[in-house]
Every structure is written in C-alpha cells, then in structure tokens.
C-alpha cells in the first residue's frame, strides 16, 4: 500500500485523531525530520527521516528522544545503539533516532520506552503501536526543561 515514500510525502502522526462517526479520517501532516542539527543522521535511508519502504523489515518509523535507560535496555536485548562503530556514531541520551516500531513497543511494555516525537513519526508505526500509546509518550506532553532563571 505505501511502497517507497519520499519523506516530504509521508505522513506524520502530529495532530491526527480517530475519525468520529461518518467523518473521513483526518489528513496527515507532512513528515518532519527526526535528526537534530549536529546530531546523528537517522532513518532507514540515513536521510534524517523515519520514512520506510518494503525493504525495511524493522519498520524504523518511531522517532524517539532516546534515554540512557532505553539505551541500556536495548543493549541488553542484543541491539547496542550506544557503542560507536566505523559506520555508526553511537547514540547518547537526548539524541533522536528512528526506532523499530516493535522494539519501541517492547521497551514500552518493559517500562523503558523513550519519548516519541509525533511530527517525525511515520504513520506506518500505527500498524504496530496504537496511536493512543504513541500520543501518551509524546514529547509534547513531557515536562519542559527548566530555564536558566529557574536553576
């Protein structure tokens, strides 16, 4: 159904809600970049977007702000995302990364899921993770970092 999706045409989950009654489903917002300037370049295609295609068996669709707790958890599961390799910089807490939908859900069930950046999460993530759960972990609902005057 989706095939190859070029990032600007892929849909994100920002501002989407369940249709009511006979109303058509809401329009999806354009997919935003997951990678932050100066941070690691993420995505199935390493283009900064959580876009996907039929070759992406892991469905790298959930844009997350990784935490140390998540990095430790996924390493214990056999997927070390924190150790640098020649072709991979290694992640640190606060980096954004396109996670496999099933790994994010597994981490959520274990109480280790990182926050989700909805505007950078591909619509295909909903094939694995319920929208309500993604919204519950939305970075938009996270407490704001204290300002310098509050420290």
Structural domain spans, the chain = 29-138
**3-class SS of residue 60:** strand
CB 101 within 8 A of CB 50: no
Point out the least confidently predicted range of 19-23, 65-69, 120-124.
19-23
> What single-letter DSSP state applies at residue 122?
B
| Of 61, 126, 63, nearest in space to 97 by CA | 63
**pLDDT of 117:** 95
**pTM greater than 0.85 (yes/no):** no
- pLDDT at residue 41 above 70? yes
Mean pLDDT in residue range 18-37: 65
φ, ψ of residue 64 to 5 degrees: the values are -130, 150
- pLDDT at residue 3 above 50? no
User: 9: pLDDT confidence band, cut at 50, 70 and 90?
Assistant: very low
Alpha-carbon dihedral sign for residues 132, 137, 139, 143: positive
| Of 98, 100, 94, 55, nearest in space to 77 by CA | 100
Taking the CA atoms of the chain, what radius of gyration do you get in angstroms? Answer: 16
CA dihedral 120, 123, 125, 131 (to 10 degrees): 100
Q: Residue 10: which residues within 8 A CB-CB, separation 6 or more?
A: 30, 31, 49, 51, 52, 122, 123
29-138: CATH architecture: 2-Layer Sandwich (3.30)
By residue count, the chain amounts to 151
- pLDDT at residue 137 above 60? yes
Say how far apart CA 58 and CA 97 lie, in whole Å.
14
């Amino acid at each position: 159904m989706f095939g190859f999706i070029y990032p600007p045409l892929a849909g994100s989950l920002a501002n989407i809600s369940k249709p009511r009654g006979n109303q058509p489903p809401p329009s999806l917002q354009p997919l935003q970049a997951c990678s932050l300037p100066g941070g690691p370049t993420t995505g199935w295609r390493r283009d900064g977007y959580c876009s996907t295609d039929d070759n992406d068996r892991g469905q790298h669709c959930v844009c997350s702000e990784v935490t140390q707790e998540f990095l430790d958890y996924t390493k214990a599961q056999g997927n070390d995302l924190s150790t640098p390799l020649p072709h991979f910089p290694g992640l640190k807490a606060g980096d954004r990364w396109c996670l496999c939908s099933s790994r994010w859900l597994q981490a959520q069930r274990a109480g280790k899921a990182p926050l989700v950046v909805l505007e950078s999460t591909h619509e295909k993530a909903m094939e694995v993770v319920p929208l309500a759960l993604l919204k519950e972990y939305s970075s938009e609902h996270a407490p704001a970092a204290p300002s310098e005057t509050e420290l």
